[in-house]
């Protein structure tokens, strides 16, 4: 995913009207940084003691807390962002979605069959089911089919009876269905089919605001899609719009579109170019519409199921990957075919690099696709949305300022990296979305390193720090569909870079990345599970490190004094939480210095003393360093 902040930081020439928003949003951070700089100068002049350092760190923490924007959440936020008795008792097994858009009217109509099973019996014995569908879309009807077994000796089959379910509005964006008359046995599969219609919310600046996208291509042809991460898939189809419940058995999407257009979606094409018929008084009549049905076999999150409709043409390729032959398919507008054939050669480079670092591409059964989109890009599973104008960098710019970001196509690398972190490993709550964005942002560093060397990767990662705001913690508010700071990207990547160099064993680090994708294969997780996994596999307790970088805005400061006569360095941490104990690994010898908030002295070799300086340390670890005078 691409944040609004990332767009504003690097592309103000493309959206000057947004500059005021950026500066307003950054004002608090700017003031806070000025306060910090003033405080740092005072520290230097007065040569304050360790106690003073700790006091100032506490003052900064208090300042950050006071300056933090306090948010209020509604009941609708809770209904959207958390489980409740009307959501928790049932598990989604599959979505089968049909949608027919009307480009001229900007309306859609459709139906969704939801297959599910009951996980447990609700305490109050009622079976109400929450279905999410955002206004102004309207839920028309809900039906279910129940099997009734015959009771006499002549019956040798089941009779299926169609029932209409009662339903009512629970909030502006959700309904409650009454299933009390049709009790579902625990672990027995059942289904409902929901019919709906209306004018969905329109995305004006996708993908940063969500909704249905109604555009025209350069030749004036209709071009339609959806962007709904954060806003929610219920902005365009009824579902259980909760990130922690993916359909175990995949999904299908049927799009009914004008016969002059092509419709593309996730997975593989099951049925296509089929003429639609409209039932008349005497006979069915062929219309100027055709339907295309695509299917994914693997679990997929709601927001990743996306239609792409336009004057598409296709070309294909294959890659012999870790799990065998992977089908590659590329869908672009007809007039961009030649440019795409050249630019999309980078997809194979990306896949080889990421299979090395992260393990096999997680969706071989569903293929890998790039689909040209009417917006910059998004990590739609097995159908990555691409809108980077067939050029390198991020719309021609380098987010790191190092120059390395212009060597490759940002959208191909970043959005495809989400196939491992976001699509394979998905967080239950978007408050933990750093797991998606931090690891995927670091995939850019790993891609750069894979093809241009480790120092190139270090350059790129270090350069990303200029975009970090430290405006609010990375972890968001739980249970209310609220993500944390946009720093989940650049700061998240630098957190992983810091942990990698604290481990200082790239073979082990790679095993951890591959292990995450193997052990949490096609699963939804919490940040705590990921944090604990890394600590356990690394053999280093990083719990305080995660707390520091994910749950505060303070950047740890390493205070140190080098005594060349004694060949020692004395160091401690300030501007940090209690108990912060990030180890600093000395690259020449792989020696770990277990530095804490209390000053300690370490004996170093001449090579280690020569390495121990601001440039080397800050390049490997996202911290600040300062030579100080400790009081005896």
pLDDT digits (tens, 9 = 90+) for 190-220: 999 999 999 999 999 999 899 999 999 999 9
Among residues of the chain, what percentage have pLDDT more than 70?
A: 83
pLDDT band at residue 127 using 50, 70 and 90 as cut-offs: confident
pLDDT at 419 over 60: yes
pLDDT at 347 over 50: yes
pLDDT at 279 over 80: no
588 versus 236: the higher-pLDDT residue is 236
Q: At what angle do helices 434-452 and 346-358 cross, to 10 degrees?
A: 110
Q: What single string gives the DSSP state of each residue in 85-119?
A: TTTTTEEEEEEEEEEEEETTTTEEEEEEEEEEEE-
pLDDT band at residue 120 using 50, 70 and 90 as cut-offs: confident
73 versus 46: the higher-pLDDT residue is 73
pLDDT band at residue 54 using 50, 70 and 90 as cut-offs: very low
- Quote the tokens at residue 413: 């690398």
> How far, CA to CA in Å, does 480 sit from each of 5, 119, 175, 568?
21, 23, 18, 50
pLDDT at 527 over 70: yes
CB atoms within 10 A of CB 428: 19
How crowded is the C-beta side of 357, counted as CA atoms within 13 Å? 24
**What's the pLDDT score for residue 292?**
97
**What's the pLDDT score for residue 161?**
80
pLDDT band at residue 44 using 50, 70 and 90 as cut-offs: very low
- For residues 261-278, average pLDDT: 84
- Inter-residue contact 255 to 307 (CB < 8 Å): yes
**What's the pLDDT score for residue 277?**
58
Q: How far apart are CA 516 and CA 500, in angstroms?
A: 15
CB atoms within 10 A of CB 386: 29
- Residues recorded for the chain: 632
Of 265, 266, 285, 267, nearest to 275 by C-alpha is: 285
Among residues of the chain, what percentage have pLDDT more than 90?
A: 78
How high does pLDDT run on average in the chain? 87
**What's the pLDDT score for residue 100?**
98
Of 145, 142, 146, 80, nearest to 111 by C-alpha is: 142
Angle made by CA atoms 317, 323, 326, in degrees to the nearest 5 = 15
- Quote the tokens at residue 412: 């191909």
Give the residues across from 275 on adjacent strands: 290
Cis bond before residue 122 (omega within 30° of 0): no
Instruction: Please give the model's pTM, rounded to 2 decimal places.
Output: 0.88
**What's the pLDDT score for residue 57?**
41
pLDDT band at residue 631 using 50, 70 and 90 as cut-offs: low
pLDDT digits (tens, 9 = 90+) for 3-28: 544 544 544 333 333 333 333 333 34
Angle made by CA atoms 28, 31, 34, in degrees to the nearest 5 = 150
502 versus 61: the higher-pLDDT residue is 502
pLDDT digits (tens, 9 = 90+) for 366-401: 999 999 999 999 999 999 999 999 999 999 999 999
Give the residues across from 370 on adjacent strands: 330, 384
Radius of gyration of the chain, Cα coordinates, nearest whole angstrom = 27
Give the residues across from 368 on adjacent strands: 328
User: Could you give the maximum distance between any two Cα atoms of the chain, in Å?
Assistant: 102
| Region 76-310: CATH code | 2.60.40.1730
Q: How far apart are CA 310 and CA 333, in angstroms?
A: 7
**What's the pLDDT score for residue 276?**
67
Q: How far apart are CA 596 and CA 179, in angstroms?
A: 58
Q: How far apart are CA 442 and CA 9, in angstroms?
A: 18
Question: Which DSSP symbol is given to 397?
Answer: B
Q: At what angle do helices 434-452 and 454-464 cross, to 10 degrees?
A: 140
- For residues 566-574, average pLDDT: 96
> How far, CA to CA in Å, does 518 sit from each of 182, 192, 358, 503?
39, 33, 9, 21
Q: How far apart are CA 478 and CA 457, in angstroms?
A: 34
pLDDT band at residue 153 using 50, 70 and 90 as cut-offs: very low
**What's the pLDDT score for residue 70?**
65
- Quote the tokens at residue 405: 């970001």
All structural domains of the chain with their residue ranges: 4-70, 76-310, 557-627
Q: How far apart are CA 591 and CA 436, in angstroms?
A: 32
- For residues 138-159, average pLDDT: 67
**What's the pLDDT score for residue 80?**
92
> How far, CA to CA in Å, does 627 sit from each of 33, 227, 562, 569, 571?
20, 49, 8, 10, 9
pLDDT at 501 over 80: yes
Q: How far apart are CA 45 and CA 66, in angstroms?
A: 27
**What's the pLDDT score for residue 493?**
98
pLDDT band at residue 146 using 50, 70 and 90 as cut-offs: confident
């Amino acid at each position: 995913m691409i944040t609004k902040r990332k767009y504003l930081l690097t592309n103000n020439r493309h959206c000057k009207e947004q500059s005021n928003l950026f500066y307003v949003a950054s004002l608090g951070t700017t003031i806070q940084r000025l306060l910090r700089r003033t405080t740092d100068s005072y520290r230097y002049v007065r040569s304050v003691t360790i106690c003073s350092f700790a006091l100032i760190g506490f003052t900064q923490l208090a300042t950050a807390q006071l300056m933090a924007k306090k948010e209020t959440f509604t009941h609708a936020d809770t209904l959207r962002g958390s489980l409740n008795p009307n959501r928790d008792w049932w598990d989604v097994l599959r979505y089968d979605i049909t949608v027919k858009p009307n480009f001229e009217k900007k309306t859609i109509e459709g139906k969704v069959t939801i297959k599910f099973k009951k996980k447990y019996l609700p305490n109050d014995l009622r079976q109400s089911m929450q279905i999410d569908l955002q206004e102004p879309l309207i839920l028309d009807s809900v039906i279910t089919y129940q099997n009734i077994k015959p009771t006499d000796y002549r019956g040798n089959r089941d009779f299926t009876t169609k029932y209409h379910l009662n339903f009512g509005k629970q909030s502006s964006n959700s309904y409650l269905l009454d299933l009390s008359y049709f009790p579902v046995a625990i672990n027995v599969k059942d289904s409902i089919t929901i019919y709906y219609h209306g004018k969905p919310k329109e995305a004006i600046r996708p993908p940063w605001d969500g909704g249905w996208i109604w555009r025209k291509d350069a030749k004036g042809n209709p071009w339609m899609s959806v962007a709904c991460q954060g806003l929610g898939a219920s902005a365009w189809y009824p579902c259980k719009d909760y990130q922690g419940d993916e359909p175990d058995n995949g999904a299908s999407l049927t799009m009914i579109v004008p016969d002059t257009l092509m419709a593309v979606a996730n997975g593989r094409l099951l049925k296509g170019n089929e003429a639609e018929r409209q039932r008349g008084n005497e006979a069915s009549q062929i219309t100027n519409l055709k339907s295309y049905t695509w299917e994914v076999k693997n679990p997929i999150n709601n927001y990743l199921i996306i239609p792409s409709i336009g004057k598409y043409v296709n070309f294909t390729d294959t890659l012999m990957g870790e799990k065998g032959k992977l089908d590659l398919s590329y869908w672009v507008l007809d007039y961009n075919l030649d440019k795409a054939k050249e630019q999309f050669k980078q997809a194979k480079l990306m896949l080889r690099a990421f299979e090395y670092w992260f393990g096999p591409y997680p969706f071989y059964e569903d293929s890998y696709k790039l689909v040209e989109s009417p917006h910059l890009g998004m990590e739609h599973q097995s159908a990555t949305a691409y809108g980077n104008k067939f050029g390198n960098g991020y719309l021609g710019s380098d987010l790191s300022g190092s120059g390395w970001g212009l060597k490759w196509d940002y959208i191909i690398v970043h959005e495809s990296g989400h196939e491992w972190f976001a699509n394979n490993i998905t967080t239950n709550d978007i408050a933990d979305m750093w797991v998606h964005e931090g690891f995927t942002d670091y995939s850019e560093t790993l891609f750069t390193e894979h093809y241009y060397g480790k120092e190139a990767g270090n350059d790129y990662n270090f350069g990303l720090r200029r975009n970090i705001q430290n405006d609010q913690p990375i972890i968001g508010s739980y249970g209310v569909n609220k993500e944390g700071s946009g720093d989940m990207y650049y700061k998240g990547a630098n957190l992983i870079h810091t942990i990698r160099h604290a481990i200082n064993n790239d073979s082990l680090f790679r095993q951890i990345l591959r292990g995450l994708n193997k052990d949490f294969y096609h699963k939804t997780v919490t940040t705590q599970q990921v944090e604990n996994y890394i600590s356990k596999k690394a053999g280093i307790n990083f719990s305080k490190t995660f707390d520091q970088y994910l749950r505060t805005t303070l950047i740890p400061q390493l205070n140190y004094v080098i005594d060349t006569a004694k060949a020692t360095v004395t160091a401690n941490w300030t501007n940090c939480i209690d108990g912060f104990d990030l180890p600093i690994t000395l690259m020449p010898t792989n020696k770990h210095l277990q530095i804490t908030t209390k000053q300690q002295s370490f004996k170093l070799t001449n090579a280690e003393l020569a390495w121990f300086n601001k440039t080397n340390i800050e390049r490997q670890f996202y911290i600040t360093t300062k030579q100080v005078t400790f009081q005896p």
